[in-house]
Structure 1
């Protein structure tokens, strides 16, 4: 199911929800009084949350949450300054709106324009991602901008967002590179609790070489262009919710340059993708639902050079509970089955325990803990390896030291188990940081992070890194 049509980088929340302007004052009303229901529960049928509130409470997209946590760790803008009302119980720290520090944005009739631009300076101890750390460190700066315009209508929505960042390295100038994305989305409310959504996105991204199987010893970054279009719909009637979506995408890699000056062809990693999703949920209480979801993801490689075909179909069946599990715990707990079928009989079919859980816990009104656990099928740089099953766990703690000073701690662990070989990679990362809002416009942050990738495959595939970043931004 697609998230609602508001700018991607401005809509991603730490909790994986969309607790923002779209919920409105309705979220503070007793459940029995929403949607015009009679406050006397004995005389009225069960009252359900409205379409917008229901979606905000249990539409948890793990990919969006994961991207948001990545950008938090890098100190890049993620959360809109127009979050939930101050003091609303159960609102995560980073989703709260503080009017005295909120960027005003620009109201254009029934449209709202928000933007932020800034720069940062960083030091990376292992730029070339090599096991030998001697003389591989470098300073680099980054310029970034993010902007979005979204409709401010009572029904339906349209949105357009874009973000851009460029890195400038001191010694290894060949590592300079840009990332950007453009996203257009829309939602059509066809009934009180039902809607249709459409989202189209184009992006240029830099591959994180610290990930499992990343290519080491490159003078340039590995980049790819990706196009995706996704349509979906949700029907809500009584206590039942049915949803479905279909996505078509393609990824095309850009060639890289090795330390020896050779061109490294990356086109063998290009693939076309088709993903189908279907889900059903039954509302137990005003903000809790049991659910069952099925996903079928097909990747077809267009320029494979391996002796075996890496084309793979992944199917996932997940069930569990989502919503407000307790008054202070919100999110989704989902487990099930994950199965990967390769077209080539030389690669083994794999069936493992599926995991897709995202939890936000508020132990105090000043502290929010976000937990993310997912298991996914990933493609390998070496196609003959048959890809790997990635199990990722993340924990992020946000603490409101002052109304305008947020502290951050993030811990990540990833276990990557390859299918056709005995290779196993383990990745550990720790990030500490702080975000300081000086006034309505000026934002400052600091990030300090360490990481370690260990592998039983090759000695050079085990890496370590240390990073520190100081950044500033101006929000409009």
Structure 2
């Protein structure tokens, strides 16, 4: 939810090395994210709660294709007093082979995307204040029931303390849409489900020699809107409304410039506001993960965390969910121009299915990024997710493959063609929605 406009190079030297690496790639990563190199809705599902404190590999001189800065192609922004402002608008034309995610008799449709955004960041010598306002509007040609009006507004401040210690506070409000590729999507729904989120967070970093301690307090309020079924009846989603209060703590110890050990604990309290649908889903969640980030070889960079997760419910008779938790990433720098990235994660999510308390989601992602030209990056991606539901006999499998290109014409214009194929399968006595979908699109970014 943070603003992603590029930061000036003179500020990078003052930041924590890990932050510096992220900022160096800010312009490129912002374009990839906003342009939808992997168009939202053409992937497997994502959690409606963010992961809190980000994990990063130790910093070295070796960087991936998407981390390599291209200052000659980055947007310059507009100076406004002590702030640098980055205006941008994304325009997209897209087509889908299965607009409703139907198992049979699929219908196609085309849609346009207009996504304006404005990011501002202070240029002070110390500390930082940033803000963003973004929109994401989709208009379908034949089936307006699928139209979406997304938004995202937020403010973040960072206070630099002694050494590399920092304190960050942020507030954010956005509207996203749960679509048919997500495990949270209600079966046989015609429209996507609007979800309004309000988030307040406070995060602190204390660095002392080789030891770094990180803490995060996050309160997220989720409000789901009702949606319509294919039969034009209302599908109630109010029972999913809840407030999640999350406490995260992590300790990292740097053994060497390329090796660090970490342990992280996340406690989340879920408070549901409506328990009349089938049962009260309120309860507690705990996720403990420990591991290391290291260079397996000079060209293979690895982060591996493994541990335990548990989701307990207050209502009597509802068994808890527990099991293995893992969080891993491998970057293979095949060459300066090609990077292969593998990621894996397993966590617990709350279910929207009647009688199901929740499900465990195990996800594996593979991505290949190739810099064909200085201003042309090719991206290939594959996602596989397995969702195992509790209390009911149902298992969902979702997979996606896609390809896109990021063609930077100049500082002000970026062109992104993309094509994606997605498939959702389901098995068990309470089988869910099954379908496949092909999407293709062409996006143009205009920025300053």
Instruction: Give the TM-score normalised by the residue count of structure 1.
Output: 0.82
Shift of 1:128: 1.2
Q: Check if 1:124 corresponds to 2:83.
A: no
Match among 330, 342, 359 for residue 371 of structure 1? 342
- Distance in 2 (CA, whole Å) between partners of 1:53 and 1:23 is 14
Q: Check if 1:53 corresponds to 2:17.
A: yes
Shift of 1:119: 1.0
Contact 1:75/1:446 (8 A) holds in 2: no
1:96 corresponds to which residue? Answer: 68
Report the more deviating stretch, 379-388 or 427-436: 379-388
- Distance in 2 (CA, whole Å) between partners of 1:383 and 1:202 is 28
2:37 corresponds to which residue? Answer: 72
Contact 2:188/2:433 (8 A) holds in 1: no
Q: Check if 1:449 corresponds to 2:420.
A: yes
Match among 401, 407, 418 for residue 436 of structure 1? 407
Contact 2:420/2:440 (8 A) holds in 1: yes
Match among 380, 393, 396 for residue 422 of structure 1? 393
Greater share of helix residues, 1 or 2? 1
User: Secondary structure of 2:401's match?
Assistant: strand
Shift of 1:351: 2.1
State how 1:7-406 maps to structure 2 within 5 Å.
7-10=2-5, 21=8, 26=13, 52-56=16-20, 68=33, 71-74=36-39, 89-132=61-104, 134-322=105-293, 327-330=298-301, 332-406=303-377
- Distance in 2 (CA, whole Å) between partners of 1:303 and 1:22 is 49
Shift of 1:218: 3.0
Query: 1:289/1:56 Cα in 2 relative to 1: closer, same or farther (>3 Å)?
Result: farther
- Distance in 2 (CA, whole Å) between partners of 1:191 and 1:409 is 42
Shift of 1:464: 0.8
- Distance in 2 (CA, whole Å) between partners of 1:385 and 1:99 is 50
User: Secondary structure of 2:197's match?
Assistant: strand
- Distance in 2 (CA, whole Å) between partners of 1:370 and 1:461 is 30
Structure 2 unmatched ranges of 5 or more? 24-28, 42-59
Contact 2:227/2:236 (8 A) holds in 1: yes
Shift of 1:325: 6.0
Contact 1:308/1:346 (8 A) holds in 2: no
- Distance in 2 (CA, whole Å) between partners of 1:443 and 1:195 is 34
Q: CA RMSD in A?
A: 2.7
Contact 1:314/1:341 (8 A) holds in 2: yes
- Distance in 2 (CA, whole Å) between partners of 1:75 and 1:272 is 25
Query: 1:200/1:331 Cα in 2 relative to 1: closer, same or farther (>3 Å)?
Result: farther
Greater share of strand residues, 1 or 2? 2
Residues 274-328 of structure 1, C-alpha deviations (whole Å, 9 max, x = no match): 0001111111113432011100012121113333321231111111113666544
1:408 corresponds to which residue? Answer: 379
- Distance in 1 (CA, whole Å) between partners of 2:155 and 2:188 is 37
1:16 corresponds to which residue? Answer: none
1:81 corresponds to which residue? Answer: none
Shift of 1:262: 1.9
Query: 1:443/1:68 Cα in 2 relative to 1: closer, same or farther (>3 Å)?
Result: closer
Query: 1:116/1:22 Cα in 2 relative to 1: closer, same or farther (>3 Å)?
Result: same
User: Secondary structure of 1:346's match?
Assistant: coil
- Distance in 2 (CA, whole Å) between partners of 1:69 and 1:327 is 32
Shift of 1:269: 1.0
Contact 2:331/2:340 (8 A) holds in 1: yes
Residues 429-451 of structure 1, C-alpha deviations (whole Å, 9 max, x = no match): 00111111111211111111111
User: Secondary structure of 2:410's match?
Assistant: coil
Query: 1:25/1:168 Cα in 2 relative to 1: closer, same or farther (>3 Å)?
Result: closer
Query: 1:127/1:23 Cα in 2 relative to 1: closer, same or farther (>3 Å)?
Result: farther
Shift of 1:108: 3.1
User: Secondary structure of 2:343's match?
Assistant: strand
Instruction: Give the TM-score normalised by the residue count of structure 2.
Output: 0.87
Q: Check if 1:461 corresponds to 2:433.
A: yes
- Distance in 2 (CA, whole Å) between partners of 1:24 and 1:282 is 25
- Distance in 1 (CA, whole Å) between partners of 2:257 and 2:38 is 34
Contact 1:310/1:383 (8 A) holds in 2: no
User: Secondary structure of 1:282's match?
Assistant: strand
Shift of 1:369: 2.1
User: Secondary structure of 2:153's match?
Assistant: strand
- Distance in 2 (CA, whole Å) between partners of 1:198 and 1:362 is 35
Residues 35-57 of structure 1, C-alpha deviations (whole Å, 9 max, x = no match): xxxxxxxxxxxxxxx75114456
Report the more deviating stretch, 452-461 or 242-251: 452-461
Shift of 1:460: 5.7
Query: 1:307/1:7 Cα in 2 relative to 1: closer, same or farther (>3 Å)?
Result: closer
